[in-house]
Amino acid sequence: MFLAVLTPSESNEVSPDAALVNRLLQRDVSAFEDLYDRHSRIVYTLVLRILQQASTAEEVVQDVFLHLWRNAAQYDGSRGPFLPWLLTLARNRALDQLRLKSERQRRREEQAEELPPVVAIPDFEGSLDEKRRAKRVRELVALLNPKQKRAIELAYFEGLSHSEIANALQEPLGTVKGWIRNGLLRLKEALQATS
């Protein structure tokens, strides 16, 4: 039985994927095409297994590879091989899609349970009170730290997950979660103090 032994020169060689990522950093379209051809099938298989819906899986795969094109510099070859990194990215995007889908479904169910009033009487006082509260919330949000404010806006108005916000702001995930949590606590306390 023969065992393969790596010599130091062989172990320092760059993997084909890492070489393609390096070319991708230079915006080499053919490198992107090669990476897509090499890995799109396994990425699709993983995403389809999670989502159980072909059309949504195809969208997530496109999103993953678009993210790769835009953010190839996020891959750090010293931390491990490319394929597990890409599959982790795909898994996270698929799980985010599942969460978004379940949240939409929950909202639809809640809306279906709400029965409209038999007679709609204009509620001027309630409308005015709602406008005052909305104005107060905007004022309080404007007082937040700019990065904290942006993180909350991305979460609540653009529907991004914490990991997507961290990527968008190029900040650590824990920092983004802290900004959002602390910002919402400040808003809650300020709103309770004024009511």
The pLDDT tens digits for 84-95 are: 999 999 999 999
Dist CA 174 CA 162 (whole Å)? 9
Please report the pLDDT score of residue 116 as a whole number. 59
Which has more pLDDT, 171 or 110? Answer: 171
Q: Which of 191, 192, 193 is nearest to 134 (CA)?
A: 191
Determine the Cα–Cα distance for residues 60 and 119; give it in Å rounded to an integer: 45
Tell me what the mean pLDDT of segment 164-189 comes to.
88
The tokens for 139 are 């004022």
pLDDT, greater one: 37 or 136: 37
Average pLDDT over residues 16-27: 89
- Closest Cα to residue 183, out of 159, 161, 158, 156? 156
Inform me whether the pLDDT recorded for 52 exceeds 50: yes
Task: List domains and CATH numbers for the chain.
Answer: 14-113 (1.10.1740.10), 131-195 (1.10.10.10)
